[in-house]
Amino acid sequence: MLHALVLASTIGSAFVHPNPMPPADLPVAVYEQRRARVLAELGDCAAIISSQGEVNGITEDYRQDANFYWLTGINEPDAHLVLLPKSPYRKVLLFLKSRDPEAERWTGPREAVSPELLKKYGVDRVLRGSPESALSAAGLHHDCVAMITPASMAKTDRNDDELALRVAGRFGLKVIYKRGLLADLRSAHGPEELERMERAIAITAIGHNAVARATVAGVSERDVQTQLEYAFFANGATGLSYSSIVGSGPNGAVLHWDKNSRILQNGDLVVVDAAADYGRYASDVTRTYPVSGHFTAEQARVYHAVYQAQEDIFAAIKPGVSMAELQHVAEESLRRSGYLADFIHGFGHFVGLDVHDAGDAEKPIPAGAVFTVEPGVYLPAQGFGVRIEDEVVMADRGYRLLTSSIPRKLEEVEAWVARERSRPH
């Protein structure tokens, strides 16, 4: 016990909390520019979008949905954004939940409506309570109501859809559906977003260095998870992009293994799908580690097939290609190697404010879009799986590999594991 306390004291005294750049929060001007782009797309139509976040845990931790967050940067429940493109002075109205002094004793004080709050959020007016009166007044001056809420939720599940349709019916306004508008705008990231995603990836790379050291026989999957997540937060992560997956041996053949309870054994492969969040922007990385330090002949055959599928996908990424086309490339590659039946998921997905972010798989991938390339082969009968997952950003003339600092070629992975395990702790 004394040794552990001394060690903890030594670690604590040497630790300097990072202050990474760029800062986690985006400047308010970014949200103003985003809303201006949406207003330009609305024409003469008014629109409303309400927060659709989720509450978790005993302390009711709130995570805003990505669409509302992209437009406002606000992480509060019961908030509403009203967009009025035909209004000469008040085009953007923000409605926040009414204050409750008793509730704020539990959750902390909330700011009063003030000129400072207007400046903080960059809107034309901040109010509290229901947006119905403002939207009804807008019905007198707008020709139509645009439904910009994504189609992933039924209209009966969303109070903003119900309110917009009610106002349209009351004033005889035309209803225009622009369900894909926010997905189209969000899928192409600006430089300030890419900065934060690259920061998340840099932190994730440090975490996977810890995994290369930690995946040794006799430790548990939970031990590996603990070490990699400590590395994330010690290097400035603002959160986890998703629950960390550490699947050793047969658990590596389970796509979303989350128990992380097994003891690693010599000869295992360990599939680690884990990544840091920075400033609400996600990253997504998977590597497959040999516990012994080397892949067996059978494991190497599978690894080479997955790696080749990645290479074939990379070669097909060019302007005009869609995610659907790249899926076909992945399937054809694994068909040639004989493992198509063991490839049980899509080759990749868009990444942004959510780890599985907005974007249209059938449309050409826009410049600035970030997406994963993650083929995998899962062989439960043989007791292992292999997945390699990287992130790329689409460029004007091709792509840029964002995760190039994390080894992925088989020989490089073996050398990386050997190098990290030889370092003094």
Classify residue 104 by burial, with Cβ atoms within 10 Å: 0-12, 13-18, 19+. exposed
Separation of alpha carbons 151 and 266, rounded Å: 48
Q: Which domains does the chain have, with CATH numbers?
A: 28-186 (3.40.350.10), 188-422 (3.90.230.10)
Alpha-carbon distances of 352 from 67, 200, 201, 349, 372, rounded to whole Å: 11, 11, 12, 10, 11
Average pLDDT, rounded, for the chain: 92
Q: Which residue has the higher pLDDT, 14 or 172?
A: 172
* C-beta atoms surrounding 26 within 10 Å: 20
- Alpha-helical regions (H) of 66-127: 66-72, 101-107, 115-121
Residue range 42-54, pLDDT digits in tens: 999 999 999 999 8
Backbone dihedral region of 338: left (phi > 0), alpha (psi from -120 to 50 degrees) or beta?
left
Report the chain's C-alpha Rg in angstroms. 24
Task: Count other Cβ atoms within 10 Å, centred on residue 42.
Answer: 22
Within 8 A by CB and 6+ apart from 207, the residues are 228, 229, 231, 232, 235, 274, 275, 276
The pLDDT score that the predictor gives to residue 141 is 86
pLDDT at 5: 34
The Cα 249–Cα 238 span in angstroms is 31
Q: What percent of the chain has pLDDT over 70?
A: 95
- Identify the pLDDT of residue 105: 76
| CA 288/CA 387 separation, integer angstroms | 6
Residue 71: C-alpha distances to residues 43, 165, 169 (Å): 18, 21, 26
Confidence at residue 19, expressed as pLDDT on a 0 to 100 scale: 74
Residue 227 tokens, joined: 């070490």
User: To which residue do tokens 């868009």 refer?
Assistant: 350
Q: How confident is the model over 381-422, as pLDDT tens digits?
A: 999 999 999 999 999 999 999 999 999 999 999 999 999 999
Contacts of 389 (CB under 8 A, 6+ apart): 273, 284, 285, 286, 287, 348, 372, 373, 374, 376
Asked which of 5-19, 112-126, 138-152, 360-374 is least confident by mean pLDDT, the reply is 5-19
Q: What share of the chain is helix, strand, coil (3-state, %, to 5)?
A: 40, 20, 40
pLDDT tens for residues 256-315? Answer: 998 999 999 999 999 999 999 999 999 999 999 999 999 999 999 999 999 999 999 999
Q: Where are the beta strands (DSSP E) in 291-413?
A: 370-373, 376-379, 384-387, 390-395, 398-401
Which pLDDT band, with edges at 50, 70 and 90, does 155 fall under?
Answer: low
DSSP string over 225-259: HHHHHHHHHHTT--EESS--EEEEGGGGGSTT---
Rounded CA separation 384/373 (Å): 20
**Cα separation, 350 vs 395, whole angstroms:** 14
- The band of 328, judged by pLDDT with boundaries at 50, 70 and 90, is very high
Q: What is the pLDDT at residue 154?
A: 60
Give me the pLDDT at residue 2, please.
34
Mean local confidence (pLDDT), 234-245:
96
What is the pLDDT confidence band of residue 7, given thresholds at 50, 70 and 90?
Answer: very low
Using a 10 angstrom Cβ sphere, with 0-12 exposed, 13-18 middle and 19 or more buried, the burial of residue 343 is buried
Tens of pLDDT, residues 110-126: 888 889 999 999 999 99
What φ, ψ does residue 409 adopt, rounded to 5°?
A: -70, 145
